[in-house]
A = this chain, B = another copy of it.
């Protein structure tokens, strides 16, 4: 039988189980919430610069993310065009879209996990033994 800690918490305060989740590639960050948002914004705006600005991120950091992402997979997730019409721009590939979908589903499962834990905590139910 698992431990309940409900009795030591303050009734007037709210406790919640939180967490974050990402995919690592060779000990370094590969894909997490920040990169999802960046890819989505590149998709919407067609520009790394606009995407970065839109989420209050420096261009430098966004660029570093893009190069890291492309380095960590077989085929590029972001295709970049320097110069030309409108000065250039960037688009995301179908594989980037797949990755976003995958992450969204993973996140769903994780949120369900967190929600269950927070609920068990609040309800002071006993959890099944490990």
Interface residues of A (CB under 8 A from B): 2-5, 8-10, 13-26, 30, 72-75, 95, 98-99, 101-102, 105-106, 108-110, 113-114, 117, 121, 127, 130
How many monomers of this protein are in the complex? 2
Known contacts A3-B102, A3-B105, A117-B109; A74/B26 CB under 8 A: no
Residue contact A24 to B20, C-beta cutoff 8 Å: no
User: Could you give 28 example pairs across A and B, Cβ below 8 Å?
Assistant: A2-B102, A3-B102, A3-B105, A5-B95, A5-B98, A5-B99, A5-B102, A8-B74, A8-B95, A8-B98, A8-B99, A10-B72, A13-B25, A13-B72, A14-B25, A15-B23, A15-B24, A16-B23, A17-B106, A18-B23, A18-B24, A19-B22, A19-B110, A105-B127, A105-B130, A106-B117, A109-B117, A113-B113
